[in-house]
Amino acid sequence: MSLAPFITQLGAEIEDASEETFLLFSQDIPSQNLGIIDSQAPLLELSIASRDLSIKQSPTVLNSARGGGTTGAVVWKVTPRFAEWLISPGNLLARHGIVSPESSVLELGCGIAGIVPLTLAPLVQQYIATDQAYALKLLKENIDQNTASTQTGTKNKKPSKRANVVPSSNIQIESLDWEIDDVNSFLKSNNAPEGVDLVIACDCIYNYALIKPFVQTCVDICRSRTGERPTVCVIAQQLRQPDVFEEWLEEFNKHFRTWRVSDEALTDDLKENSGFMIHIGILRQGESMAA
């Protein structure tokens, strides 16, 4: 299936990172503080698309001096909104077959919560949830617990022989460090040698040091695509620091054709003046092996 109708619906591409930054940060942005739902709570009770989730957090890890970052130890405000949008009626990704029962999805920087995989995985064939190793134990606990709570007969099922696959689920949990790991080797070892249909990232860019490793990881995943239809990148963020955002967009736009999802295609709590936005990227011609 061609992506041409999807691209047409996205409208005008972003050509100038500074202009896009000015437009976004000129909005009437509400105060979200850092954007953490509750940095002190060890357990959050959330409802996503009428589904109740119990999510364990780790305030201790968040406040630790661990090198390599700790932000994935808690739930950020954009995450439930993004998850709701992904499965909302008439979502443009589903309408154009990017999210379908045959789709493969890879999430970057999943964190400990597992909210997006718990929400989206039932609609796709394969979901690979990734983050640094420190987040994976609690991520698996959250996905395992919330998957089991919605299924019957799970008590009698034998545990999975593979520790990183959640029982009775199509969610695979893997360590992927953007600065260290080889993406091609990672994909080959995780049943995705021909790439994936969709790469998603939710609130992963919050300082300058992450920008180039993050963008290069997106590029490497999308380059691995061997099918006729390219991989689609979907990136949700909270508006925080204009300089960091502009540098990310400048770098991302070098490699990807980039669009901001319009209000017409968003749920209300992601629209203009919400303090959040979603961008979509498709690897530029010449960057892709399949181009």
pLDDT along the chain (291 residues), means of 10: 91 97 93 69 85 83 51 79 96 97 96 93 96 91 83 45 55 95 96 95 90 98 89 96 97 98 96 96 78 40
Cα(45)–Cα(41) distance, integer angstroms: 10
**pLDDT of the residue at 64:** 52
Dihedral sign from CA coordinates of 244, 217, 255, 82: negative
**pLDDT of the residue at 87:** 96
**pLDDT of the residue at 198:** 98
**pLDDT of the residue at 188:** 95
**pLDDT of the residue at 169:** 77
Cα torsion 135, 141, 279, 51 to 10°: value is -160
Q: pTM (2 decimals)? A: 0.88
Contacting residues for 11 by C-beta, under 8 A, at least 6 apart: 259, 262
Residue 178: HSE in the Cβ half-sphere, 13 Å Cα cutoff: 22
Three-state DSSP at 45 gives strand
Give the total residue count for the chain: 291
Give, for 55, the enclosing helix (H) or strand (E). strand 51-56
- What CATH number matches the domain at 4-149+163-283, 3.40.50.150, 3.30.70.580, 3.40.50.2000, 3.30.2290.10? 3.40.50.150
Helix axes 208-223, 242-255, angle to 10 degrees: 20
CB atoms within 10 A of CB 97: 16
CB atoms within 10 A of CB 177: 14
Give, for 192, the enclosing helix (H) or strand (E). none
Which value, in Å, is the radius of gyration of the alpha carbons in the chain?
18
Cα–chain center distance at 171: 14
The angle subtended at Cα 123 by Cα 248 and Cα 97, nearest 5°, is 70
| Six-digit token string for 24 | 């976004």
Instruction: Please give the backbone phi and psi of residue 178, each rounded to the nearest 5 degrees, phi first.
Output: -60, -25
